[in-house]
Structure 1
Amino acid sequence: MRVLFVAGRSPSGLLHMLPLARALVHSGHRVRVWCRAQSCDAVARAGLVPVLGDPTATATLWRPDLLVGEPTGLGGMDAGAMSAVPMVCYLPYLPYRPAYPPPGTDLTPDVWVDPCPPSLRADGVPGAWSVCCEAYEPAGDDPLWPAARSSRPRVLIVGGSPEPGGYGGRQSDLFHRSVEGASALDLDVLIRYGHDQPWSRLLPGCAAVVHQGDAGAVYAAALHGVPQLSLNSGYPEERRAGALLEESGIGRCLYAAEPDRQTSGLRLRFHIAELVHGGRALPAASRLSRSISELARAQSLVPRLEALAGAARD
């Protein structure tokens, strides 16, 4: 069976599809991953074959038996070229379900895959295949924590770019103040940049994780039962996601549009201290982690995908 994966705009979304791509390869199937140039290294490090160029042309020439993708990737596919190929689509970030078909197309996935923990999905798709929110992690033995570990509570702070302008405006300022605030609380702080993180080595032992609302960080913290503080830019979907984190009790949310620098700095330190030293977030995050551990893993979807492709050929 030939399977073409089509990545969307989100690097985290791609990383959440890679465990399924690797499971298919290990089961003897041929897999190609269409992605943007900046994601080629991540795909290659996962032992998969990245493909650039026009995804429609790739599909026409390679003639896959199955297409797996994300809403932001599938929307660019030509409906006519893919009309005879079953499509499997991963649901996106926490707070919403995508509108389908995308404007100007008649694409409708045959199957939705939902990697979001059920208690965090505000509006699911009936019949979606639920799967554990695991993501591919880079291998390596880089020192994640200082050699001499501190007895202080650990906080992981993750951002997208080491440059102050890498986030844009107030969200960048809020991120850098979170580093200052955690350090002022006398915590053991680790700062990491980028979406491609070895979460299973970073998160165990952490009292909290601070991130900028990226789905990969949200899912990883939920999987490992770590309370989280989301620094949101204020886009509607991020606001809904932040509200959902607070409603579920697993974290807190602070918005970049906070007008008063001093007030937002105090609130930021308060939220970090609350997550580290008490509150309801830790037991809620632990319960969520246990429920996630009961969900199916990516490899369990392989027989179902084989059956879907086989039915289409028949």
Structure 2
Amino acid sequence: MNPGGPLRVLFTTWAWPSHYFPMVPLAWAFRAAGHEVLVASQPALAGTIARSGHPAVAVGSDLDIVGYHRTEHAGLRVTRDAEPPAAWNAAKRARVQQGFAKFAEIADLMADDLLDVARRWRPHLVVHDPLTYAGPLVAGLVGVPAVRSLFGPDFNVDIADLESAAAQPLADRFGVDRIDPLGDLTVDPVPGALQFPAPLRRLHVRYVPYSGQPNMPGWALDPPDRPRVLVSWGTTTAKFSAEHAARLPEVVAALAGPDAEVVFAVTPDQRALVPDVPDGVRLVESAPLDALLPGCSAVVHQGGAGTTLTAALHGVPQLAVVQTPDQVVNAIPLEKSGAGAFLVPDETTPDALRDGAARLRTDPSAAAAARGLAAEMRGRPSPAAAVRTLERLAHGEGETT
């Protein structure tokens, strides 16, 4: 297929920025190698895609996923327990499948337009978010490889059968036996200690942070004169949970004090959540964590996958203040690795926040474990090297592990 010539690579994701952000550097790498890139998503993501520098096409219509999430998770008690899927009973499996059904609904909204784009643009590869089932569906219908791009730990790998079952009505509508959410190859930026092992065709790649936050503060170029603790609530998680957003003032107030410099990184939407910033806390708006983490002794964050991976890349010990079950799934392997710890809502008190951050920024074993994660991540092939492997996949050549 098109030997030696430029490829056309179709990226697709549902309209949630933190699921798109990890795709951006790989798309840049394809374009830098001379290939053509097109990003297809629901209309709500168009501005986010445009700001990343890639051409965008809107497919389908939008869905109120924030409203759905807040309704479904209202009153949910989040605990440290995370049973492996093999231990789930039928009722738990049914509940999880019902959650995937919402993403199957999004895929149904996107599929017709995405198929039309693919038939007209004729891509050689389709790169898709793990929860964007329209991606592997359309890749199969036009006869090209489907490449799944992970945004964090692969906690769905052992329950892909539930995803397929949830998407079966969509498969039936297009006359295919089933949709395989795992695709033909998985691009995996997650270090081994934080990943869920599975016999899966993976392309291990270096994680390159991108968050769409543009402002690099000049002071971040200089080393701090005392231990620095970064506080971040990510870019999107707080939208799902008013309770999670409301914890920000509590977290910042608990960490403020003479023992460490506290840097509070916010998006414009989050700034109003903490109208009174404590003395001694440095507020920075719209700054990429990638620019702030060097020089930090610890980071306290919301437990999102992107923040977790960015901190791991910089070898910074982490305290995750989790609010949702998927954040617990991210945090458990982090704590087991020794490079961090986590608090669930019932544990999140000012003393626990203060003591947890202090321990992580002063514990040599946590620092060593965090540096180990960073060394593994930085030793992986770059997105540019990954492009060469994906070129071979598009041409029907090569193997991965």
Q: TM-score range by the shorter chain?
A: 0.7 to 0.9
Structure 2 CA distance for partners of 1:177 and 1:209, relative to 1, 3 Å = same
Structure 2 CA distance for partners of 1:274 and 1:155, relative to 1, 3 Å = same
Residue 302 of structure 1 is matched in structure 2 by 387
Q: How many pairs does the alignment contain?
A: 306
Which of 181, 188, 193 pairs up with 2:254?
Answer: 181
1:157 paired to 2:231? yes
> Match of 2:206, SS?
coil
Determine the C-alpha separation between the residues in 2 that align with 1:136 and 1:302: 18
> Match of 1:24, SS?
helix
Q: Within 5 A, what are the aligned runs for 1:219-230?
A: 219-230=309-320
Structure 2 CA distance for partners of 1:266 and 1:278, relative to 1, 3 Å = same
User: Is the deviation greater in 35-44 or in 9-18?
Assistant: 35-44
Structure 2 CA distance for partners of 1:2 and 1:244, relative to 1, 3 Å = same
Residue 12 of structure 2 is matched in structure 1 by 6
1:1-45 alpha-carbon deviations (Å, 9 max, x no partner): 211001245523321111111111111111001134454334323
Gaps of 5+ in 1: none
1:158-182 alpha-carbon deviations (Å, 9 max, x no partner): 114699x745344233332111111
Residue 210 of structure 2 is matched in structure 1 by 136
Amino acid at match of 2:207: C
User: Is the deviation greater in 44-53 or in 207-216?
Assistant: 44-53
Residue 311 of structure 1 is matched in structure 2 by 396
Structure 2 CA distance for partners of 1:266 and 1:60, relative to 1, 3 Å = same
Gaps of 5+ in 2: 1-6, 61-113, 172-177, 269-285
Amino acid at match of 2:191: P
Contact 2:10 2:126 in 1 (8 A): yes
1:67-109 alpha-carbon deviations (Å, 9 max, x no partner): 0011211346645873412111123432613315632132331
Determine the C-alpha separation between the residues in 1 that align with 2:259 and 2:363: 16
| Cα displacement (A) at 1:186 | 4.4
Determine the C-alpha separation between the residues in 1 that align with 2:371 and 2:296: 13
Structure 2 CA distance for partners of 1:140 and 1:248, relative to 1, 3 Å = same
Contact 1:95 1:241 in 2 (8 A): no
Amino acid at match of 2:297: A
Q: Within 5 A, what are the aligned runs for 1:81-160?
A: 82-94=141-153, 96-98=155-157, 99=160, 102=164, 103-104=167-168, 105=171, 106-108=178-180, 109-136=183-210, 138=212, 140=214, 142-143=216-217, 145=219, 151-160=225-234
> Match of 1:82, SS?
helix
1:210 paired to 2:210? no
User: Is the deviation greater in 44-53 or in 165-174?
Assistant: 165-174
Determine the C-alpha separation between the residues in 2 that align with 1:275 and 1:80: 45
Q: Within 5 A, what are the aligned runs for 1:29-68?
A: 29-54=35-60, 55-68=114-127
Structure 2 CA distance for partners of 1:310 and 1:148, relative to 1, 3 Å = closer
Contact 2:303 2:321 in 1 (8 A): yes
Determine the C-alpha separation between the residues in 2 that align with 1:49 and 1:286: 37
Which of 14, 23, 34 pairs up with 1:28?
Answer: 34
Contact 2:14 2:132 in 1 (8 A): yes
User: Is the deviation greater in 8-17 or in 198-207?
Assistant: 8-17
Determine the C-alpha separation between the residues in 2 that align with 1:80 and 1:202: 39
Determine the C-alpha separation between the residues in 2 that align with 1:69 and 1:124: 19
> Match of 2:256, SS?
helix
Contact 2:125 2:139 in 1 (8 A): no
| Cα displacement (A) at 1:144 | 6.1
Determine the C-alpha separation between the residues in 1 that align with 2:150 and 2:346: 28
Determine the C-alpha separation between the residues in 2 that align with 1:23 and 1:127: 21
1:168 paired to 2:174? no
1:86-143 alpha-carbon deviations (Å, 9 max, x no partner): 1111234326133156321323311111111112112334331111122335585542
Structure 2 CA distance for partners of 1:280 and 1:173, relative to 1, 3 Å = farther
Higher percent of residues as helix:
2
Aligned-pair identity in percent equals: 31
Contact 1:158 1:194 in 2 (8 A): no
| Cα displacement (A) at 1:216 | 0.8
Residue 253 of structure 1 is matched in structure 2 by 342
Structure 2 CA distance for partners of 1:140 and 1:162, relative to 1, 3 Å = closer
Determine the C-alpha separation between the residues in 2 that align with 1:136 and 1:153: 25
Amino acid at match of 1:135: P
| Cα displacement (A) at 1:270 | 0.6
Structure 2 CA distance for partners of 1:279 and 1:172, relative to 1, 3 Å = farther
Determine the C-alpha separation between the residues in 1 that align with 2:222 and 2:295: 15
